[in-house]
Every structure is written in C-alpha cells, then in structure tokens.
Amino acid sequence: MIDKDRYGPWAVIAGGSEGVGARFAHRLADAGVNLVLIARKPGPLAETAEQVRAKGVQVRTLELDLVSPDPLKAIREVTDDLEVGLLIFNAGANSYGHEFVTGDLDRFQDVIALNITAQLSLTHHFGALMKQRGRGGIILVGSLAGYMGQAQISVYSAAKAFSRVFAEGLWLELRDHGVDVLELVLGVTRTPAMERAGLNMDIPGLNVADPDDVAREGLEHLSDGPVWVAGGNYEAAVKRSGFPRAKLVAGAHAAMQRMLPPAK
C-alpha cells in the first residue's frame, strides 16, 4: 500500500487512461490518493476516471496529447492549486515502427517529444516542487527496449535508454531531499496498446506480464530506485546489458521477429 502522507495527497499520471496507467490509478485510489489523469483518448480516460472516482477519491482529467506545443501549460492549469506528491510518467507508446533512414523524420521527432521532451518538462516542474517540500516520488515507466537497439524502433529504444540513465542521475540529485525516483522497466505487458499493435504475445515461453502486477511492483518498490525491472524480466535486462553487442542485438532481433504481425 502506498504511503499517501509521503506521496499524496494528489498524484499525476501521464498516460493514465488504460493499461498500466489505469492500474496505477486504481491502486492509488484504493490507497486514498487523489488523481489527475492525463491521456489522449477521451473514452478510456472518462471510463477510468469514473471507476476510480467511485472509490471515493477526487479525480481531475485532462485530455491532452503530450506532443502538442507546451503541454505543461495545460497541465499546470489543472494542477497549480494542488499538492502533487507523486508523478507517474507512463506516456510513451508511440514507437513508430519504421526503418529510420526511410522513415518520416517528423514522426521520429514525435517519439522524442513524447518520450524525452515531455518527460523532462513534467519531471522538472513537479520534481522542483517535491524537492521544496522535502517529500514525494517520481516513477518513469521505461522498457526493456531501452537496453538494446532494435530495428524499426531504433529511436524509441534510444529514447527509453535515455529515460533510464536520466532516472539514475535524477535519483542521485533528489535522494537526499526526500524524493524517490524510480525507472520502472517493463517487458512485454498485455496492454491495449500492445494488443492494438497486433503483437503475438502467445509464443510458448514468452514472459508476458499483467498490467496490474507491474503497477503493484512499481508502487511497492518506489523507494528501491533508481531502477526496478518488473514482470520477472531482471535476467533479461542483465543479458541485454552484456557483450558482445553484435551477437546480442542480432539474437534479440531474431526473437522479436516472431512477435510481429504478418506483413500486409
């Protein structure tokens, strides 16, 4: 159970409408933490807000694309009067699968804008307020993709690698000020986004995590930063960090091809 005196009374969840973000919302609501849910899709956003509001907490919603110009301005309009003790940055699914040199550079820039620029903006704002108060927590939801370059999602993988290294440095900066920082690394997780992508998650032996389980792990291990690898993927993260890189990268690429939907 999350300590709402340390990480409350309000939490901001970017990407809080479905999948792991929605499960974070439910678990925080069960602990009595009020919520600001930010997401692009109005339907799932309203549905999750209604469900967690029924648990007795206050909920504010913001329909927002974090790659839009200056998303922090819109976020501050709904949060400046609140005491936010927890930031969960769970937005980052727009991996844009395409070979880099023949892909759309603007689409790649959007991947960076969401996974790096928006993350930095929100973390800078709320992290400063938490440091001033001397308490709080920041969870940056990462990916095993950030441990290794991958074809078709090379920019996304690089952005997730940035997030992990950024979290480690931020953890050092804030740990003596009562603010916990955690990069929560996810492997294959059965989320609506993964299902929409058409990935084959039923391969024998494939480790597929449940969204509620990884949300629980993230909250339980918030003080165990700077990095927590969720869903039983610790050994995979260690392996992906090894050498020689050519052999590891090529082997992971071959395994990934089995998950991809058939070419149209």
Read off the pLDDT of residues 108-153 as tens digits, 9 standing for 90 and up.
999 999 999 999 999 999 999 999 999 999 999 999 999 999 999 9
Catalytic positions: 156, 160
pLDDT tens digit sequence for 195-247:
555 555 566 666 788 999 999 999 999 999 999 999 999 999 999 999 999 99
pTM: 0.93
**pLDDT value for 208:** 81
In the chain, % of residues over pLDDT 90 = 83
pLDDT tens digit sequence for 143-189:
999 999 999 999 999 999 999 999 999 999 999 999 999 999 999 88
Q: Mean pLDDT of all residues in the chain?
A: 92
Q: How far is CA 3 from the centre of its chain?
A: 21
- When pLDDT is averaged across residues 45-74 and rounded to a whole number, the result is 97
Q: Given the structure tokens 């960090």, which residue do they identify?
A: 241
Strand partners, 10: 34, 84
Closest Cα to residue 163, out of 234, 211, 226, 110? 226
Kindly state the tokens that stand for 6. Answer: 């340390």
Question: Cis link prior to 42 (omega < 30° from 0)?
Answer: no
Question: Which phi and psi (to 5°) does residue 99 adopt?
Answer: -60, 135
Closest Cα to residue 187, out of 166, 205, 209? 209
Classify residue 210 by its DSSP letter: -
How many angstroms separate the first and last alpha carbons of the chain? 46
- Give the dihedral sign, CA 70/171/165/4: negative
**pLDDT value for 200:** 54
Spell out the domains of the chain, with CATH numbers in brackets: 4-257 (3.40.50.720)
* 3-state class (DSSP) for residue 6: helix
**pLDDT value for 199:** 59
Kindly state the tokens that stand for 87. Answer: 């930031």
State how far the Cα of 117 lies from the Cα of 162, in Å rounded to an integer: 11
Say if CB 46 and CB 61 are below 8 A apart: yes
pLDDT tens digit sequence for 92-105:
767 888 999 999 99
